[in-house]
């Protein structure tokens, strides 16, 4: 006699296997969609952050273009022509080395974002190509137009060694001796692994020292490679003391008094700007002019300090740092601008020499 077995239970097993397979497929699909959505959001945020950073360049260009024009602006009270250099510098001086912060909202500007801008002047930095004669394979000695010498370079790097706690003078000297041609960009120093260890996280000036008040790292992180050195030449080949970079101010022990906003910054600069002169003898004129700005008398400044300062006012090349942030995505932009000397009188225009995404 043949017995019949009830096999209806296999359907449950098949159903469970099918459900398990579907769960795996759906989980995989959701995972892929989640990754893709996150990626798209990041890409969109990055693009918007880049646009915000580029808007910082437009703001900087507008500010560097000079003050708003007024009637009879070319005449002073006595009827004499006003010095264009003095008038222009009085306008842009409060902007130099000062971090400007802007908060954008969806309601007012159409986007929730943050923007930080810093305008620097390249003539306020040390031209690394003027320190060394790459043909003769030696440091330039002081005298005549050659104003930098080995002693100054060594003193600078000895000071950097105190900050960075690294012996970098010998490294720097070695790099220069092996090089056959001038630097095209300051960051070429980072090709050396030892220099990269010192300045790898101190390449471009950081707003943390001025805008983020909860940080206590100003002394240890106030030195930045591209804020000390430049490769952009000036006619005088010396440093313009009116626009010294923040890193060089730290080197020479000079103070910078930054206001809480741009209005306060202009008020702070009003006193020392009255002493501005396009030509100066710094050994005689320092105490009556820039000592007000930097809070240091001539007698306490290092020996040889005035030998490296330009006695003529020259600001033609600017560097502009723009940091745009949307959500958690930040994009950084560095632009080198040069004043166009060929523009018509009374109109200030700029050429973009280089543009970097950092």
Contacts of 72 (CB under 8 A, 6+ apart): none
User: Using 50, 70 and 90 to split pLDDT, how confident is the model at 346?
Assistant: low
The pLDDT of residue 52: 87
Residue 319 has pLDDT above 50, yes or no: yes
Q: Where are the domains of the chain?
A: 41-357
Residue 46 has pLDDT above 60, yes or no: yes
Model-level pTM greater than 0.75? yes
User: Using 50, 70 and 90 to split pLDDT, how confident is the model at 76?
Assistant: very low
For residue range 256-305, what is the model confidence (pLDDT) as tens digits? 777 667 777 777 777 777 777 777 787 888 878 888 888 888 788 777 77
Contacts of 214 (CB under 8 A, 6+ apart): none
Q: Region 329-347: what's the mean pLDDT?
A: 77
Using CA atoms, how far residue 214 sits from 106, 211, 298, in Å, is: 27, 9, 34
For residue range 126-173, what is the model confidence (pLDDT) as tens digits? 888 888 778 777 777 644 444 456 677 777 777 777 766 667 777 787
Share of residues in the chain with pLDDT > 90 (%): 3
- What's the whole-number average pLDDT of the chain? 77
User: Using 50, 70 and 90 to split pLDDT, how confident is the model at 320?
Assistant: very high
Please give the residue that has the higher pLDDT: either 347 or 208: 347
Residue 253 has pLDDT above 70, yes or no: yes
Inter-residue contact 88 to 66 (CB < 8 Å): yes
């Amino acid at each position: 006699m043949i017995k019949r077995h009830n096999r209806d239970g296999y359907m449950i097993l098949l159903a469970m296997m099918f459900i398990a397979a579907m769960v795996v497929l759906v989980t995989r699909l959701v995972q892929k969609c989640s990754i893709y959505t996150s990626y798209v959001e990041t890409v969109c945020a990055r693009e918007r952050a880049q646009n915000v950073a580029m808007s910082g360049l437009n703001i900087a260009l507008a500010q560097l273009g000079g003050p708003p024009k007024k009637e009879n602006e070319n005449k002073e009270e006595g009827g004499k022509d006003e010095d264009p250099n003095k008038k222009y510098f009085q306008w842009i001086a409060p902007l130099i080395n000062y971090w400007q912060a802007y908060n954008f909202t969806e309601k007012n500007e159409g986007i929730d974002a943050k923007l930080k801008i810093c305008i620097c002047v390249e003539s306020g930095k040390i031209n690394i190509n003027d320190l060394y004669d790459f043909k003769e394979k030696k440091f330039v000695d002081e005298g005549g137009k050659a104003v930098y010498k080995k002693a100054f370079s060594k003193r600078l790097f000895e000071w950097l060694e105190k900050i960075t706690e690294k012996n970098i003078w010998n490294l720097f000297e070695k790099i220069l001796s092996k090089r056959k041609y001038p630097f095209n960009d300051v960051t070429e120093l980072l090709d050396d692994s030892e220099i990269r260890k010192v300045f790898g996280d101190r390449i471009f000036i950081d707003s943390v020292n001025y805008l983020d008040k909860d940080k206590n790292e100003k002394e240890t992180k106030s030195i930045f490679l591209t804020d000390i050195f430049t490769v952009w030449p000036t006619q005088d080949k010396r440093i313009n003391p009116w626009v010294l970079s923040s890193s060089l101010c730290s080197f020479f022990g000079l103070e910078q008094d930054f206001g809480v906003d741009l209005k306060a910054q202009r008020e702070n600069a009003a006193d020392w700007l009255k002493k501005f002169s396009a030509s100066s003898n710094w050994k005689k004129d320092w105490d009556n002019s820039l000592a007000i700005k930097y809070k240091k008398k001539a007698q306490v400044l290092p020996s040889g300090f005035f030998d490296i300062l330009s006695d003529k006012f020259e600001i033609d090349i600017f560097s502009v740092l723009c940091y745009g942030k949307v959500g958690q995505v930040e994009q950084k932009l560095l632009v080198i601008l040069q004043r166009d000397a060929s523009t018509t009188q009374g109109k200030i225009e700029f050429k973009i020499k280089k543009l970097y995404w950092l």
